[in-house]
Amino acid sequence: MTNIVVYTDLDGTLLDHESYEPGPARELLMLLADRGIPVVPCTSKTRAEMLPICEDLGLTGPFIVENGTAVWIPEGRGLPRPPGTGADGDHWCHVLGKSRGYISGALAGLGGEWANRFHSLCDMSLRQVSAVTGLNESQARAARARHHSETLLWLGSAADRSEFARVVSELDMEVLQGGRFLHVLAGGGKGEAMAWLHGILCAHMFPDATSIAAGDAENDLTLLEAADHALVVRSPAHEPPQPGGVAKLYISAAKGPAGWVEGITAIIEDIDRESGHGRFLSKRYHHYAAQSG
Ligand SMILES: [Mg+2]
């Protein structure tokens, strides 16, 4: 059977943009687990936010945080410790980006012309973070625990934002538009982090695995472009991003988690069809398996 690894954005993709719930995606996550297909979150969220989310979703493998500036790999799950990784708790960490302190210092260096056009998530009170995101207090605290990227609420115009991205790029840093926030990175990125982790997974657990990437926003473009199959999940909040040079692209009709289920199912059935396997994910199959088993 073809090895498959799914790399997925969370907010607006696997999780609903407003409620942060997986809704219909929960059932598909169980089907994927049954079939041994790992689902790797690749998100702008922090490690502190991801630990309870992974537990809730039943995801026990690696995850990529802060827009691909760090990859966390659980110990004792069949992967050897990759060279050059740090350790914290029961995870190894591969860092791809410079520290948040470096980034915020560089942004402060841009001076007063820019300082009043954004507000760092990490400088907001918990109440402000909750008001902007809808997260509760402990979730808001976890969202502020950023180490390798800076997350900004943009207060200026769209034209200002383009100029800001240009100015930041001259500092060898990158501005990415997420579903709610602007993210600033100094090294790394979702596509680069995914490519690194996919190399590790292929070398040790899933030889020649086919990669599927799913995302809903501009900050998912490098992720979508790094995968064998790309799923763009439609968003209720903004236009779908337009990945370039993708071998196989599926754009969902449904929005959010329903679009994730629609697209992941269609792509895996497509992979199964090409490799001569049955439709392992269809409800029909499970109905049949339940009857015959
Ligand atoms: Mg998203």
User: Do 153 and 246 share a domain, yes or no?
Assistant: no
Q: How far apart are the CA of 194 and the centre of ligand 1, in A?
A: 16
Domain match, 90 and 107 both: no
Shared domain for 252 and 236, answered yes or no, is yes
- Domain shared by 208 and 278, yes or no: yes
Measure 142 CA to ligand 1 centroid, in angstroms: 18
The rounded Å distance from CA 101 to ligand 1 centre is: 24
One domain for residues 121 and 147: yes
Of 132, 156, 185, which residue constitutes the final position of a domain?
A: 185
Write down the mean pLDDT value for the chain: 92
CATH of the domain at 63: 3.40.50.1000
- In angstroms, what is the span from residue 179 Cα to ligand 1's centroid? 5
Q: Ligand 1 centre and the CA of 181: distance in Å?
A: 10
Boundary residue ending a domain (122, 156, 185): 185
Give 135-156 pLDDT, tens digit per residue. 999 999 999 999 999 999 999 9
CA distance 22 to 264: 14
Query: Residue 204 Cα, ligand 1 centroid: separation in angstroms?
Result: 29
Question: In this structure, are 255 and 206 located in the same domain?
Answer: yes
**pLDDT in the model for residue 286:** 42
Could you tell me if 39 and 129 lie in one domain? no
* In the block, residue with structure tokens 């350790």: 87
| Confidence check: pLDDT of 109 > 90 | yes
Residues 147 and 202 in one domain: no
pLDDT band at 26 (very low <50, low <70, confident <90, very high): very high
The count of domains in the chain is 2
Q: What distance in angstroms lies between residue 136's CA and the mean position of ligand 1's atoms? A: 19
Give the pLDDT confidence score for residue 293 in this predicted structure.
30
Region 69-97 average pLDDT: 95
Residue ranges making up the domain that contains 203: 4-96+191-292
pLDDT band at residue 112, thresholds of 50, 70 and 90? confident
C-alpha of residue 186 to centroid of ligand 1, in Å? 20
Ligand 1 centroid–CA 221 distance in Å is: 11
Q: With 0.85 as the threshold, say if the pTM is over it.
A: yes
The answer to whether residues 61 and 153 belong to one domain is no
Helices 47-57/137-144 angle, 10° precision: 130
SS (H, E, C) the chain: CCCEEEEECCECCCECCCCCCCCCHHHHHHHHHHCCCCEEEECCCCHHHHHHHHHHHCCCCCEEECCCCEEEEECCCCCCCCCCCEEECCEEEEECCCCHHHHHHHHHCCCHHHHCCEEEHHHCCHHHHHHHHCCCHHHHHHHHCCCCCEEEEECCCHHHHHHHHHHHHCCCCEEEECCCCEEEECCCCHHHHHHHHHHHHHHHCCCCCEEEEEECCHHHHHHHHHCCEEEEEECCCCCCCCCCCCCEEEEEEEEHHHHHHHHHHHHHHHHHHHCCCCCCCCHHHHHHHHHHC
Task: Tell me which of 165, 185, 205 is where a domain ends.
Answer: 185
Those residues with Cβ within 8 angstroms of residue 268's Cβ, 6 or more apart along the chain or in another chain: 4, 37, 212, 280, 281
Do 42 and 21 reside in the same domain of the chain? yes
92 and 38 together in one domain: yes
Residue 280, pLDDT score: 58
Asked if residue 163 and residue 144 are part of one domain, the reply reads yes
**Percentage of residues in the chain with pLDDT exceeding 90?**
83
pLDDT at 291: 37
231-285 per-position pLDDT tens digit:
999 998 888 999 988 879 999 999 999 999 999 999 999 999 888 766 555 544 4
Q: Enumerate residues 6+ apart whose C-beta is below 8 A from 273.
A: 279
> How far is the C-alpha of 205 from the C-alpha of 203, rounded, in Å?
6
- 210 alpha carbon to ligand 1 midpoint, in Å? 22
